[in-house]
Amino acid sequence: MEHNGLGDTSALNLTRRGVLGLGAALGVGAAVSACGGGSSTPPGAGAGANIGEGAYEGEKVTLAFWNGFTGGDGAFMKEMVKTFNTETENIEVQMNTLEWGDFYSKVPNAVASGAGPDVAAMHVDQVGTNAARRVIMSLDDFTGPMELQEDDFAETVWKAGIYDGQRYAIPLDVHPLAFYYNNKLLQQGGVSEPPKDRESWEAALTGMKSKGVEYPFWATATWPAHLIFISLLGQFGGSLYDEEAAKATFASAEGVEALEWYASHVEKGFSPKNVANDAQAQAFRQGRDAMTWDGIWMMNEWAKVQGLDWGASPLPQIGDEPAVWASSHQLVIMQQRQADENKLHAARDFIKYLSDNSIEWAKSGQIPARNSVRESDEFAALEVQSTLAEQLDYVIFPPTVPGIGDVTAPTFEQAVNTVVLGKADAKTALEDAAKKADALLEDNRKKYSA
Radius of gyration, alpha carbons of the chain: 22
Among residues 396, 412, 439, the one where a domain terminates is 396
Instruction: Quote the pLDDT of residue 36.
Output: 41
Mean pLDDT (the chain) is 91
- Whether residues 252 and 308 share a domain: the answer is yes
pLDDT tens digits for range 4-25: 333 333 333 344 445 444 444 4
Where does 68-195 show beta strands of DSSP type E?
91-97, 119-123, 162-163, 166-167, 170-171, 173-182
**Domain span at 230:** 2-11+177-325+403-449
Give dist(CA 2, CA 152) in Å, integer.
29
Percentage of the chain lying above the pLDDT 90 cut: 84
342 and 314 co-located in one domain: no
Band of pLDDT at residue 26, cut at 50, 70 and 90: very low
- Give the pLDDT of residue 10: 31
Question: Distance between CA 58 and CA 70 in Å, rounded?
Answer: 32
Q: Check whether residue 49 and residue 93 sit in a common domain.
A: yes
Q: Is 230 exposed, middle or buried (0-12, 13-18, 19+ CB in 10 A)?
A: buried
Same domain, yes or no: 409 and 371: no
Domain final position from 375, 396, 417: 396
Percent residues over pLDDT 70 in the chain: 88
pLDDT one-digit tens code per residue, 331-368: 999 998 888 999 999 999 999 999 999 999 999 999 99
- CATH number, domain containing residue 331: 3.40.190.10
Cut 0.85: pTM above it: yes
Looking at the fold, whether 209 and 277 belong to one and the same domain comes out as yes
Same domain, 316 and 353: no
| Residue 413: band (very low, low, confident or very high) from pLDDT cuts 50, 70, 90 | very high
Q: Are residues 95 and 144 in the same domain?
A: yes
Same domain, 6 and 25: no
Same domain, 223 and 108: no
User: 287-329 pLDDT, tens per residue?
Assistant: 999 999 999 999 999 999 999 999 999 999 999 999 999 999 9
Residues 94 and 137 occupy one common structural domain: yes
- Count Cα neighbours of 337 within 13 Å in the Cβ-side half-sphere: 12
What pLDDT does residue 269 have? 98
Count of the separate structural domains present in the chain: 2
54 pLDDT band, cuts 50/70/90, is: confident
pLDDT digits 0-9 by tens, 60-86: 999 999 999 998 899 999 999 999 999
Backbone angles phi, psi at 273, to 5 degrees: -80, 155
Instruction: Give the DSSP H or E segment for 342.
Output: helix 341-356
Answer yes or no: is pLDDT of 157 > 60.
Answer: yes
In terms of domains, do 321 and 222 share one?
Answer: yes
Of 357, 367, 339, the closest CA to residue 138 belongs to 339
Q: Are residues 220 and 276 in the same domain?
A: yes
